[in-house]
């Protein structure tokens, strides 16, 4: 746990939250500044700053929980779609340095812009070289 981390304070109960699920590894709660109705967050109880730092099994647990919650949100909130986001580092727009996954229900015409880019074809040789480097490191 981190003394200064807002999510660690929520996990410890120092800061109140609207919990929707809790187990020994994770906590899911409603976002207090929701992008849309039903926007919730899933965090590990242990303080881990980014995906680079987290144990893959713990991240898998969070992903499994997001999948379970998405099914319930779909049934209860009835969005037309959903976004699942996990941001890392300042350049990746991570605001709270504690791993967290967002589940954001979406409706057609909601005018919410989360991530917008125009696809531009990349350099095939550069893409292949990067893929080779990643494969070799695995």
Please give the full DSSP string across the chain, using - where no structure is assigned.
Answer: --SS-HHHHHHHTSS---EEEE-SSEEEEE-SS-SSTT-EEEEESS---STTTS-HHHHHHHHHHHHHHHHHHHHHH--SEEEEE---TGGGT--SSS--EEEEEE-TT----S---------HHHHHHHHHHHHHH-
Distances (CA, A) of 132 to 86, 90, 120, 129, 136: 25, 27, 21, 5, 6
From the list 39, 47, 98, 100, the catalytic residue is 100
Give catalytic status of residue 102 as yes or no.
Answer: no
Q: Which residues are catalytic?
A: 100
């Amino acid at each position: 746990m981190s003394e200064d981390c807002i999510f660690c304070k929520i996990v410890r109960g120092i800061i109140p939250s609207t919990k929707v699920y809790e187990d020994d590894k994770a906590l899911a709660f409603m976002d207090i500044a929701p992008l849309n109705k039903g926007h919730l967050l899933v965090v590990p109880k242990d303080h881990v700053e980014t995906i680079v730092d987290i144990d893959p099994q713990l991240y898998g647990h969070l992903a499994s929980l997001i999948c379970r919650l998405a099914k319930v949100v779909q049934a209860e909130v009835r969005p037309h779609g959903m976004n699942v986001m996990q941001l890392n580092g300042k350049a990746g727009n991570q605001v709270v340095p504690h791993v967290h996954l967002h589940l954001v229900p979406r409706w057609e015409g909601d005018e919410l812009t989360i991530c917008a880019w125009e696809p531009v074809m990349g350099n095939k040789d550069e893409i292949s070289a990067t893929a080779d480097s990643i494969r070799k490191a695995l």
